[in-house]
């Protein structure tokens, strides 16, 4: 059996991947598409591991036990080292809620399920709170480990029953997987980023290339190698610069850096090592790339958590520390454990190197949950404020507020706000901001004996024809949802229609907003518009961190001016009632996320349920209701 020969150029490609990710995490503005380094890693992994698996399958010596034993020896020792360091530092620095989340994440990371945990707990990879999660980057390990539960068996089965058509079948599989990723990315953007089915083609592409090289042994001439390298570098370089946080990803956009990586791997298959990729510095970084990937992000995440700006000097220090930790881990953990692991039996490797650390992490996560993150480490107010951030309107009113992909969900008569009575008087429509105002609306509607149906959906402002830079699929869903909403308004002639959302700052949106309000006015008794509340940077975390670390830290923000088009709309529709939550949040134009010991925000912009209801109660105490302003003072 011919073993997969060592290739320095692949270590060089690993170096490109980890450097790209590192730079992006230090400063996304410098390298907006640096996160595609993970996709390059996927292609490399698919190529190398599939090559080894296929050689064993073809020789009739493949063993699942040996395969998973190698994976444990390769992945777990360095990972367990970094997990241990992260949870130790977390015990000193993290708030009760964040510590509980970290320790649970550590367990899921070791089990190869971190991508599922992070998807559920953090959502968007680029969200503000995700930037403070020390183990956010372990989602990619989850993708790989889940892939290798399926992939070796798939290769084995296809080779056994259709060996002549192996490349064709797997090639068709790559194309279908790309199509699935592109479709799902447009429908379930956040889930697609983290879940295996939408990433499958990236590892599969590398696997297909590895089998092709073993089956056909292509002769790569100098001219062909040069052309492949040129195109490969261009595809990766363009992806690094042109792809960004707002790009739909993965899908087709992830295919380009993957193809670039595959071309660079193919270019070196003839034994011609590229000058750049084969250079000693690049090979060195490639050799320690796994440990460097594991170490670099926790260093950055903890700095983010402590609100320490990463200057050029500090970034340089982070690089030096991360490289040193990575080299030490590679030299004294990765290499020794891989050598010693080869001499151990399967049961010993699984029990000592997987089951034992997993049980320890399970115990640690369980204790942290049982003792509520050990809140006695900080001021008692920290735990109380954190509890408010867990009152999430979308979860409280699940089914009344739905994800964009569920835009076709019919109204639910049981989704009620306001007065508890049989008849429905109106409807609340809009996006996630309309949803987070549901507690406020519930309180303000009761004094006027109004009962409203709650009917909101993510990423869909209640403005006909408005797309606001949304991905095409989201925009189409929103268009259909709004058609249904306004059809309901026209057919039912509700006495009350409440429109709320993240109203755009773009003055060009005036015409569309005006037309939508006009349509609602023509087919209802009273239209109520709720203005967007003021976004505040770190609104949900700043008051808590101030208690934990820095009593002098300021969490307030100046109130931004409202778009001018609202003046025109208010003049044109004097019969429309407008409610402004900033009357509570921003007294005298100074906005605070913490008022009367109530933490109002869920994130930088959305309110939590406590905050929404507090605003409603405060307005009510001041004489406001859904229909009334306080009496004018004489």
Per the structure block, which two tokens stand in for 1? Answer: 């059996």
> Cβ atoms within 10 A of the Cβ of 160, count?
10
Task: With a cut of 50, list the residues of the chain below it in pLDDT.
Answer: 1-2, 634
Tell me which residue of 315, 290, 394, 375 sits closest to 602, measured CA to CA: 394
Q: Which residues contact 353 (CB under 8 A, 6 or more apart)?
A: 72, 73, 76, 77, 80, 337, 341
Say what the pLDDT of residue 272 is. Answer: 67
Helix (H) or strand (E) holding 38: helix 37-59
Rounded Cα gap, residues 606 and 437, in angstroms = 9
Rounded Cα gap, residues 474 and 496, in angstroms = 28
> 529 - beta bridge partners?
499, 578
Mind listing the domains of the chain with CATH numbers?
Answer: 8-373 (no CATH), 387-621 (3.40.50.1110)
Tell me which residue of 340, 481, 330 sits closest to 407, measured CA to CA: 481
Could you tell me what percentage of the chain is helix, strand and coil, using 3-state DSSP and rounding each to the nearest 5? Answer: 65, 5, 30
Say what the pLDDT of residue 507 is. Answer: 93
> CA-CA-CA-CA torsion for 60, 64, 67, 68, nearest 10 degrees?
180
Say how far residue 396 (Cα) sits from the centre of its chain. 22
Per the structure block, which two tokens stand in for 378? Answer: 């900080």
Contact 514, 492 (CB under 8 A): no
Contact 357, 76 (CB under 8 A): yes
Rounded Cα gap, residues 608 and 385, in angstroms = 11
Give, in degrees to the nearest 5, the angle at Cα 499 between 494 and 502: 165
Residue 530 backbone phi and psi in degrees, to 5: -105, 120
Burial group, residue 370, by CB count within 10 angstroms (0-12, 13-18, 19+): exposed
Q: What does 302-368 look like in DSSP terms, one character per residue? A: HHHHTT----HHHHHHHHHHHHHHHHHHIIIIIHHHHHHHHHS-HHHHHIIIIIHHHHHHHHHHHHH
Q: Which residues contact 384 (CB under 8 A, 6 or more apart)?
A: none
Contact 11, 278 (CB under 8 A): no
In Å, what is the CA distance from 552 to each residue of 585, 591, 592?
A: 21, 17, 15
Say what the pLDDT of residue 552 is. Answer: 86
Rounded Cα gap, residues 414 and 346, in angstroms = 56
Rounded Cα gap, residues 8 and 10, in angstroms = 5
Say what the pLDDT of residue 471 is. Answer: 79
Per the structure block, which two tokens stand in for 145? Answer: 């480990």
Task: For 54-95, write each residue's pLDDT tens digit.
Answer: 999 999 999 999 999 999 999 999 999 999 999 999 999 999
Q: Assign 3-class secondary structure to 442-473.
A: HHHHHHHCCEEEEEEECCCCCCCCCCCCCCHH
Tell me which residue of 296, 239, 274 sits closest to 43, measured CA to CA: 239
pTM, full prediction: 0.91
**Euclidean distance between the first and final Cα of the chain, in Å?**
96
Contact 50, 211 (CB under 8 A): yes
Say what the pLDDT of residue 492 is. Answer: 94
Say what the pLDDT of residue 2 is. Answer: 43
């Amino acid at each position: 059996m011919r073993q997969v020969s060592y290739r320095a150029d692949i270590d060089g490609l690993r170096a490109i991947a980890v450097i790209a990710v590192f730079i992006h995490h230090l400063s996304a503005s410098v390298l907006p598409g640096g996160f595609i380094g993970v996709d390059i890693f996927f292609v490399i992994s698919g190529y190398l591991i599939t090559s080894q698996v296929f050689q064993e399958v073809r020789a009739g010596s493949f063993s699942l036990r040996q395969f998973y034993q190698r994976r444990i020896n390769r992945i777990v020792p360095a990972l367990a080292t970094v997990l241990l360091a992260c949870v130790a530092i977390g015990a000193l620095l993290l708030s009760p809620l964040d510590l509980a989340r970290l320790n649970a994440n550590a367990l899921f990371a070791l089990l190869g399920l971190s991508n599922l945990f992070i998807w559920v707990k953090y959502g968007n990879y680029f969200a503000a709170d995700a930037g403070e999660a020390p183990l956010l980057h372990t989602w990619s390990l989850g993708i790989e480990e889940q892939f290798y539960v399926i992939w070796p068996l798939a290769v084995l089965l296809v080779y056994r029953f259709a060996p002549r058509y192996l490349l064709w079948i797997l090639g068709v599989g790559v194309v279908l997987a790309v199509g699935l990723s592109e479709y799902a990315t447009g429908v379930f953007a956040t889930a697609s980023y983290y879940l295996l089915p939408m990433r499958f083609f990236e590892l599969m592409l590398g696997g297909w290339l590895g089998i092709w090289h073993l089956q056909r042994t292509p002769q790569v001439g100098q001219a062909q190698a040069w052309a492949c390298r040129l195109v490969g570098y261009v595809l990766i370089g363009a992806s690094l610069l042109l792809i960004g946080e707002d790009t739909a990803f993965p899908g087709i956009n992830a295919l380009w850096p993957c193809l670039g990586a595959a071309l660079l791997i193919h270019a070196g298959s003839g034994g011609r090592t590229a000058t750049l990729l084969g250079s000693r510095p690049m090979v060195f970084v490639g050799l320690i790339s796994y440990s460097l990937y594991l170490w670099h992000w926790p260093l950055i995440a903890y700095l983010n958590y402590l609100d320490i700006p990463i200057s050029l000097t500090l970034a340089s220090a982070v690089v030096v520390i991360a490289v040193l930790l990575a080299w030490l881990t590679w030299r004294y953990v990765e290499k020794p454990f891989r050598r010693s692991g080869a001499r151990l039996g399967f049961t010993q490797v699984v029990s000592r190197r997987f089951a034992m650390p997993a049980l320890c992490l399970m115990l640690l996560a369980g204790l942290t949950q049982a003792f509520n993150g050990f809140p006695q480490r900080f001021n008692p107010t920290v735990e109380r404020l954190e509890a408010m951030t867990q009152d999430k309107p979308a979860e409280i009113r699940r089914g009344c507020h739905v994800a964009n992909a569920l835009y076709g969900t019919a109204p639910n008569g049981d989704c009620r706000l306001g007065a508890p009575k049989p008849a429905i008087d109106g409807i609340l429509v809009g996006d996630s901001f309309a949803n987070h105002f549901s507690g406020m609306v519930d309180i303000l509607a009761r004094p006027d004996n109004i009962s409203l149906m709650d009917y909101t959906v993510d990423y869909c402002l209640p403005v006909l024809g408005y797309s606001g830079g949304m991905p095409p699929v989201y925009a189409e869903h929103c268009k259909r949802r709004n058609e249904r909403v306004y059809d309901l308004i026209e057919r039912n002639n509700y006495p009350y229609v409440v429109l709320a959302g993240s109203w755009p700052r773009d003055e060009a949106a005036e015409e569309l907003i005006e037309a939508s309000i006009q349509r609602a006015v023509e087919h209802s008794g009273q239209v109520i518009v709720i203005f967007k509340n003021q976004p505040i940077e770190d609104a949900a975390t700043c008051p808590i961190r101030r208690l934990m670390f820095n009593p002098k830290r300021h969490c307030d923000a100046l109130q931004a001016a409202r778009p001018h088009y609202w003046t025109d709309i208010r003049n044109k529709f004097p019969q429309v009632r407008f409610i402004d939550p900033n009357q509570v949040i921003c007294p005298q134009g100074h906005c605070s996320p913490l008022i009367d010991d109530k933490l109002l925000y869920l994130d930088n912009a959305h309110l939590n349920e406590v905050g929404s209801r507090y605003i409603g109660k405060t307005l009510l105490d001041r004489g406001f209701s859904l229909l009334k302003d306080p009496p004018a003072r004489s």
